[in-house]
Structure 1
Amino acid sequence: MSASLRAPETELADGFRNAMRRLTSSVAIIASRDGDDPVGMVATAVVSVSTSPPALLICVNRSASLHSPLTLCGRFSVNLLSASHSELIPVFAGLVKGAERFAHGQWEDLHGLPCLADAQSSLVCTLDKRVDYGSHDVIIGRVDAVRFAEPINPLLWENGSPAISARLTQ
């Protein structure tokens, strides 16, 4: 793109944020361990990478309280929330600090990591690759274990608010 067609940096950043508000995403809680203490954060930047080997991509801001423990531990869980978990969003987005976050919801240990007992699905991962990009690390985790629930009723994030999905009839 030529320089004359490029938007000023702040205008581009604002436009990008507004565009991403239109990208509906599943809400997850990424969790790990800081020694014996559980650590976690809410996230929407979770993407399937491959089935062979099973792998996920997550993005974690390097300033997030989860970042350092996750990279040191080298293992994490991704807990996809169901529509009934909307009250966990503010808790894991910073309203509650540290291990106290895990007093909210039904957490249990799965392969040494905190996993939400009634999550849509919980995936236990080992950090496989990490790429530094901007303010975040792009992390690829190799999936070691999977657990999922029925029925499918995911909690979504759309335009800055929780949302639910609806099937279209054909």
Structure 2
Amino acid sequence: MSSAPFIAGMRKVAGAVSVITTTGSDGEQRGLTATAVCSLSTEPPSLVACVNRKTWVAQFVPDSGVFAVNVLSHLQEDVARTFAGQTELAAGDRFSVGDWHSGVTGVPVVRGALASFECRLERVVEHTTHVILIGHVVETVLGDGQSLVYVAGGFSAVEHVRTAA
């Protein structure tokens, strides 16, 4: 089977937009936009992030042992586009977009995110073109706003609807 039908099918699946960040051994900051992130367990709090093995994030995380998953709000589309490589900014210069600070693990965390999860790396699983980062969540910061999702090749806001219990 060619990958074209698979890619077309996956474009129909809405995914929360996150920026995964880390810091290299020399203090260099790196990040990338991703939708392949999900919870793994609650005891202990753990998550999974899938990244291309050729990215700086995939190369830095095994050495630093830490990374963050910043789940973006609808007001942070500029951050998503920047870290997706849709601007002229590259490498550490991408952190000039958004309000970034150093989290408890030393990794970049963006203010205004719906949630930021700082993780200590538990395990790396290699699979073809990607690596699966399994992280133990050591810090969670919660924010407000509408979710930023990626679907059908574009970004969109999703309003949270609260219903009575």
Both structures adopt the same fold (TM-score exceeding 0.5): yes
Is the aligned partner of 1:136 residue 2:127? no
User: Structure 2 CA distance, aligned partners of 1:66 and 1:156?
Assistant: 21
Is the aligned partner of 1:88 residue 2:79? yes
User: Structure 1 CA distance, aligned partners of 2:124 and 2:56?
Assistant: 17
In the alignment, structure 2 segments of 5+ residues that lack a partner are none
Measured after TM superposition, the shift of residue 156 of structure 1 is 0.5
The alignment covers a number of residue pairs equal to 159
Q: Which residue of 1 aligns with 2:154?
A: 161
Is the aligned partner of 1:23 residue 2:16? no
Q: Deviations over 1:53-98 (max 9, x none)?
A: 1001000101112211112111001100000011112210123211
Pick aligned residue for 1:44 from 21, 31, 35: 35
**Paired letter, 2:58:** H
In the alignment, structure 1 segments of 5+ residues that lack a partner are 1-8
User: Structure 1 CA distance, aligned partners of 2:159 and 2:17?
Assistant: 16
Instruction: Spell out structure 1 runs of 4+ moving beyond 3 A.
Output: 166-170
Measured after TM superposition, the shift of residue 167 of structure 1 is 5.0
Q: Which residue of 2 aligns with 1:97?
A: 90
Measured after TM superposition, the shift of residue 168 of structure 1 is 6.1
User: Structure 1 CA distance, aligned partners of 2:7 and 2:29?
Assistant: 30
Pick aligned residue for 2:62 from 68, 71, 74: 71
Decide whether the 8 Å contact of 2:147 with 2:159 is kept in 1.
no
Is the aligned partner of 1:122 residue 2:116? yes
**Paired letter, 2:80:** I
Measured after TM superposition, the shift of residue 143 of structure 1 is 0.2
Structure 1 vs Structure 2 CA RMSD: 1.5
User: Structure 2 CA distance, aligned partners of 1:54 and 1:165?
Assistant: 25
Question: TM-score, normalising length from structure 2?
Answer: 0.91
**Paired letter, 1:107:** W
Which one has the largest radius of gyration?
A: 1
SS in 2 for 1:89: helix
**Paired letter, 2:41:** S
SS in 2 for 1:16: helix
Measured after TM superposition, the shift of residue 169 of structure 1 is 8.5
Question: TM-score, normalising length from structure 1?
Answer: 0.89
**Paired letter, 2:99:** Q
Q: Deviations over 1:83-123 (max 9, x none)?
A: 00111122101232111000100001111111001111111
